[in-house]
């Protein structure tokens, strides 16, 4: 038997960073994000041999172990191992040997929530195989716990929920890991227009989001007024984006993104760089009305709102930076699992 899953990657449209502790524990966070037709995939194949084979196909890495209750967390495919270890500890299922194969449509560290989405996909494949009793909130929180608590990887909370629920969501974050996901019913023509005008641009770089997030968290711990006020303003941005999308005020989206970009730079050192600033300035000169860095910042993907047909001029203007446009569509579905 073969057990498969896929979970969509996401772009954060507003409020990014307010889902990170300790800010959201102290003040509450709010984010608006949308899932894309780019995915993390996981496949589990049951083996006759008593071995566990972990294969990250997109990275060209494969590890083989004798079947054991716990796999070593040593920096090698730890996301895959972390899911297995947690499920074995919590559910105590005596599984046979298996091969776990994963693949992600975007590079690690690119700002589309790749790591967290991959964890959701892997949890989904195990849940499909073992018939684990998990609802959407359970699945997202379980993935969050594995990544943030078991593996001690710094990051926020939005990615696991976006990957599990799918669609366009306004998410609220509270103390004690409490999360509320509010799906937005956006008119089809508004979503099509947003999809047409929103350029997803890969800078052909990656970054270590954990370092930036750690600096952001330290600024909150140290009561850095400028950084905290910037996060307050990003929550305001999330509300503005929500209203613009629901009411079809799409011409305001570029300005709302631009407002958020100005605020996000103040949250922590390293979010923006001279090179990113140059790309951003060039995009606006070519016709974009605003944009942002996806994820924690420092590199990876950027998005730009390009009204009318200015997207084509922006793509041409950015060609000298060595990056590339990434085609996508918005998708409504979240985690999907099935058995072959």
Based on the domain organization, do 126 and 230 belong to the same domain? no
Question: 189: Cβ–Cβ under 8 A, 6 or more apart, which residues?
Answer: 248
Q: Which CATH number is 269's domain given?
A: 3.30.70.890
Based on the domain organization, do 170 and 297 belong to the same domain? no
68 lies in a domain?
A: yes
- Please write the tens of the pLDDT for every residue from 123-173: 999 999 999 999 999 999 999 999 999 999 988 899 999 999 999 999 999
User: Of 185, 218, 234, at which residue does a domain stop?
Assistant: 185
Q: Would you say residue 4 has pLDDT above 70?
A: yes
50 lies in a domain?
A: yes
115 lies in a domain?
A: yes
Based on the domain organization, do 213 and 304 belong to the same domain? yes
25 lies in a domain?
A: yes
294 lies in a domain?
A: yes
pLDDT for 296? 59
Based on the domain organization, do 101 and 140 belong to the same domain? yes
- Please write the tens of the pLDDT for every residue from 173-184: 998 889 999 999
298 lies in a domain?
A: yes
Based on the domain organization, do 71 and 177 belong to the same domain? yes
Based on the domain organization, do 7 and 127 belong to the same domain? yes
331 lies in a domain?
A: no
User: Of 185, 214, 246, at which residue does a domain stop?
Assistant: 185
Based on the domain organization, do 133 and 236 belong to the same domain? no
Based on the domain organization, do 173 and 286 belong to the same domain? no
- Please write the tens of the pLDDT for every residue from 39-68: 999 999 999 999 999 999 999 999 999 999
| Order of all β-strands in the sheet with 324-325 | 290-293, 301-305, 198-202, 324-325
Based on the domain organization, do 168 and 238 belong to the same domain? no
Based on the domain organization, do 58 and 132 belong to the same domain? yes
pLDDT for 206? 67
For residue 142, the enclosing domain spans 2-185
Question: 143: Cβ–Cβ under 8 A, 6 or more apart, which residues?
Answer: 116, 119, 120, 123, 160, 163, 164
Query: What pTM was estimated for this model as a whole?
Result: 0.94
- Please write the tens of the pLDDT for every residue from 183-198: 999 999 999 999 999 9
Number of domains making up the chain: 2
- Active site residue ranges: 159
- Please write the tens of the pLDDT for every residue from 198-255: 999 999 876 556 677 778 888 898 889 999 999 999 999 999 999 999 999 999 999 9
User: Of 134, 156, 185, at which residue does a domain stop?
Assistant: 185
Q: Which CATH number is 85's domain given?
A: 3.30.230.10
338 lies in a domain?
A: no
Based on the domain organization, do 209 and 307 belong to the same domain? yes
Based on the domain organization, do 31 and 13 belong to the same domain? yes
- Please write the tens of the pLDDT for every residue from 72-108: 999 999 999 999 999 999 998 788 999 999 999 998 8
């Amino acid at each position: 038997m073969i057990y498969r899953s896929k979970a969509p990657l996401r772009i954060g449209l507003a409020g990014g960073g307010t889902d990170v502790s300790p800010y959201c524990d102290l003040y509450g966070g709010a984010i608006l994000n949308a899932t894309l037709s780019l995915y993390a995939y996981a496949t589990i194949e049951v083996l006759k041999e008593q071995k566990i084979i972990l294969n990250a196909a997109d990275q060209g890495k494969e590890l083989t172990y004798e079947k054991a209750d716990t796999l070593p967390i040593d920096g090698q495919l730890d996301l895959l191992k972390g899911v297995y270890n947690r499920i074995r500890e919590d559910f105590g299922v005596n599984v046979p040997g298996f091969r776990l194969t994963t693949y992600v449509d975007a590079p690690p560290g690119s700002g589309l929530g790749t790591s967290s989405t991959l964890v959701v996909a892997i949890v989904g494949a195990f849940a499909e195989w073992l018939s684990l009793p998990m609802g959407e909130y359970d699945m997202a929180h379980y993935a969050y716990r594995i990544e943030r608590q078991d593996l001690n990887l710094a990051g926020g909370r939005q990615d696991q929920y976006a990957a599990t629920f799918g669609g366009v969501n306004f998410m609220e974050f509270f103390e004690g890991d409490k999360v509320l996901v509010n799906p937005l019913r956006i008119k089809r023509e508004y979503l099509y227009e947003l999809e047409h005008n929103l350029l997803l641009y890969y800078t052909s770089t990656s970054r270590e989001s954990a370092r930036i997030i750690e600096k952001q968290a330290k600024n909150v711990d140290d009561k850095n007024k400028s950084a905290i006020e910037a996060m307050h303003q990003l929550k305001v941005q999330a509300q503005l984006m929500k209203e613009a999308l629901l009411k079809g005020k799409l011409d305001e989206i570029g300005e709302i993104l631009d407002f958020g970009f100005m605020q996000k730079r103040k949250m922590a050192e390293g979010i923006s760089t001279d090179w990113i600033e140059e790309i951003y300035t060039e995009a606006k000169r070519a016709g974009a009305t605003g944009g942002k860095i996806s994820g924690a910042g420092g590199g990876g993907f950027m998005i730009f709102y390009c009204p009318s047909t200015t997207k084509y001029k922006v793509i041409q203007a950015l060609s000298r930076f060595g990056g590339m446009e990434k085609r996508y569509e918005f998708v409504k579905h979240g985690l999907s699992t099935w058995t072959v």
